[in-house]
C-alpha cells in the first residue's frame, strides 16, 4: 500500500516590511517646501494630530516639527486655533530683504574664494537660455526655481553653515513674496540681467562689483515691494 504523501504545514505569510519612520528634519523640510510653494496657504491650520497621521510619526515628534517651524518664523501658535501658517507681512518682508542684502554679499564673497572653473560652468548653465525660456513660456515656478538653485549653490560654495542657516531662514520667509514680485511687470526681465551681471563679476573675481550687484538685486526687489505692496 502506497504511503500517503506528507501534508506540508502552511508557511506563515512574510511580514510586511515597515517603512522607516520619517525623521523630524525630513518632515520639517517637507512642510517648509509646502509653505514656500503655497501648497499650504497663509492662515492654514497645522493640527498636531493631523501632522502625526499624515507623516506616520508619534505626537511627540509632531510637536518637535511644529516647534522647529515656529522657531523659523513659518508658523505661529494662535489661541483656540493652534498652529497656523504665518501670513505674508509686506513690512516684515521688506525688512527681511534689507538683512538678506548683507548676508548675500558675504555669501558671494566667500563663494568667490572657493569656486573653481567647474563651479562657474555649473552656475553659468543655470542662467543659460532656459532661464529666459521659462519666463517666455509663462512658467514662473521654473523661473523662480532656477533662481533658488543658483542662490543655494552660491551658499554651498561659501562653505559657512552658520551663514547658510541664516540665509535659509530669511529665504523661507520671503519665498512667497518672491514669486509674487516675479509676476510684476518688468521685474523678472530685470532680474535675469542682474543675476547674469552678478555671475559675470564673480567669474572675473571682481568682489566689489559682485557685491554691488547683490545690493542692486535686493534693492530693486525692495523697490518693487514698496511700489506694488497693495497688489501683493
pLDDT of residue 43: 86
Whether residue 227 has pLDDT greater than 60: yes
Q: In this predicted model, what pLDDT tens digit does every residue of 169-192 receive, in sequence order?
A: 888 877 777 777 777 778 888 999
Banded model confidence at residue 229, pLDDT cuts 50, 70, 90:
low
pLDDT at position 200: 97
- Tell me the pLDDT tens digit for each residue of 118-130: 999 999 999 999 9
pTM comes to 0.73
Q: What is the pLDDT of residue 112?
A: 97
Q: Which domains does the chain have, with CATH numbers?
A: 24-85 (1.10.10.10), 90-228 (1.20.120.530)
Looking at residue 119, its pLDDT comes to 97
**2, pLDDT greater than 60:** no
Helix (H, G, I), strand (E, B) or coil at 177: helix
User: In this predicted model, what pLDDT tens digit does every residue of 119-164 receive, in sequence order?
Assistant: 999 999 999 999 989 888 888 888 888 998 999 999 999 999 999 9
Report pLDDT digits (tens) over 51-107. Answer: 999 999 999 999 999 998 888 888 888 888 889 988 777 788 888 889 999 999 999
Residue 178's closest CA among 76, 69, 38, 73?
38
What's the CA gap between 155 and 108, in Å, rounded?
Answer: 8
The whole-angstrom separation of Cα 187 and Cα 104 is 19
Query: What are the helix (H) ranges across 47-139?
Result: 48-55, 59-71, 90-114, 117-126, 129-136
Amino acid at each position: 500500500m502506497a504511503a500517503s504523501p506528507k501534508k506540508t504545514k502552511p508557511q506563515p505569510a512574510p511580514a510586511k516590511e515597515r517603512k522607516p519612520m520619517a525623521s523630524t528634519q525630513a518632515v520639517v523640510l517637507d512642510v517648509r517646501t509646502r509653505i514656500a510653494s503655497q501648497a499650504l496657504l497663509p492662515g492654514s491650520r497645522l493640527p498636531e494630530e493631523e501632522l502625526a497621521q499624515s507623516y506616520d510619526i508619534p505626537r511627540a515628534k509632531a510637536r518637535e516639527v511644529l516647534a522647529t517651524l515656529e522657531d523659523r518664523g513659518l508658523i505661529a501658535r494662535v489661541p483656540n486655533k493652534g498652529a497656523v501658517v504665518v501670513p505674508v507681512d509686506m513690512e516684515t518682508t521688506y525688512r527681511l530683504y534689507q538683512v538678506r542684502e548683507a548676508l548675500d554679499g558675504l555669501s558671494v564673497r566667500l563663494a568667490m574664494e572657493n569656486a573653481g572653473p567647474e563651479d562657474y560652468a555649473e552656475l553659468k548653465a543655470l542662467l543659460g537660455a532656459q532661464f529666459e525660456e521659462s519666463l517666455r513660456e509663462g512658467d514662473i515656478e521654473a523661473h523662480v526655481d532656477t533662481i533658488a538653485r543658483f542662490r543655494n549653490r552660491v551658499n554651498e560654495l561659501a562653505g559657512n553653515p552658520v551663514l547658510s542657516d541664516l540665509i535659509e531662514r530669511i529665504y523661507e520667509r520671503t519665498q512667497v513674496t518672491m514669486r509674487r514680485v516675479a509676476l510684476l511687470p518688468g521685474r523678472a526681465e530685470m532680474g535675469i540681467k542682474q543675476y547674469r551681471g552678478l555671475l559675470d563679476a564673480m567669474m572675473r573675481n571682481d568682489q566689489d562689483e559682485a557685491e554691488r550687484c547683490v545690493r542692486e538685486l535686493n534693492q530693486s526687489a525692495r523697490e518693487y515691494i514698496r511700489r506694488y505692496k497693495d497688489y501683493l
